[in-house]
Amino acid sequence: MEDKEESNGSCFFPQSKKMKFQSEEEKKSEEVMENKEELNGSCFFPKSKKMKFQSEEEKKSEEEKMAISLDLPDYTILSPIGEGAFGKVYKAEHNTTKRFVAVKVLKGSSHAVRRERNILMELQPHPNIIQLIEVIGVEERDGGGPVYFVFELMDDDLKSIAERILSKKHQITDTQIKSYMHQLLSGLAHLHAKQALHRDIKGANILLNKKGDLKMADFGLSRFTLPYRLSELIINVKATKDVLSFIQ
């Protein structure tokens, strides 16, 4: 005799054929096995899907390990330290000079990579703009390979410092606040003097070192812009006397 299909929430689980007479121990054993297949009182997930989820985690872990061993003959990648708008950032050491640097790995479109490189090179050098040491792999970018931006290594960022201040793990003086604001406005003025907009100013993109130097970083969303012009001049409309007198 076949048992009726039992319902569990919205799913039905067909039961295998059983003997008409069944001991209490066998019933309890079957209930335990059914409970193991259930999750959150809903449908059970087949073992194949569970194994797939685990394999994705393992794949992600392998990708992170591969990222640490990047193909940079002059540098040794040490550890990941952050992530920018279009790439991840790693701490590295130059094999000859033993200088510690930050390496940003970009895998976006070649146009976006060249735009960020051009903006960074146009802003160099300035004491409140992150120093770009070198760019590796731009020529091969059209072939699909990554591009490496090598920057000076900073010790911290404003977001982390603000979080420590709120949790009372860090103290900051009025003199430091004035210094940071002066340096930030100095870097921003330099950007605007070069007719560039950062477009992503936030605590994580404002870097600091132990000497108290502040530098703006992560120009992945930055753009060059045109200086302001009157709309009458742009659309070539005859200006009024008031507008002409204002221009003069």
Average pLDDT for residues 25-34, to the nearest whole number? 60
The annotation status of 211 as a binding-site residue, yes or no, is: no
Three-state SS at 34? helix
Question: Between these two residues, 76 and 1, which has the higher pLDDT value?
Answer: 76
List the domains of the chain with CATH numbers: 69-224 (1.10.510.10)
Asked if the model's pLDDT at residue 35 lies above 90, the reply is no
Confidence tier at 202 by pLDDT (50, 70, 90):
very high
- 163-191 exposure pattern, b = at least 16 Cβ within 10 A, e = fewer: eeeeeeeeeeeeeeeeebeebbebbeebb
Structure tokens at 46: 């087949």
Structure tokens at 97: 């000079």
Predicted pLDDT at 176: 94
Asked if the model's pLDDT at residue 201 lies above 80, the reply is yes
> Looking at 24-33, 45-54, 71-80, 118-127, which range is the least confident one?
45-54
What's the pLDDT tens digit per position in 97-111? 999 999 999 876 778
Strands across the sheet containing 100-106? 75-83, 87-94, 100-106, 147-152, 132-136
Look up 200 and say whether it is catalytic.
yes
What's the pLDDT tens digit per position in 132-187? 999 988 765 555 678 899 999 999 999 999 999 999 888 899 999 999 999 999 99
Q: Tokens 């920018």 belong to which residue?
A: 84
Q: Tokens 């108290």 belong to which residue?
A: 212
Asked if the model's pLDDT at residue 235 lies above 60, the reply is yes
Asked if the model's pLDDT at residue 84 lies above 60, the reply is yes
Residue of 200, 213, 218, 242 with catalytic role = 200
Please give the model's pTM, rounded to 2 decimal places. Answer: 0.65
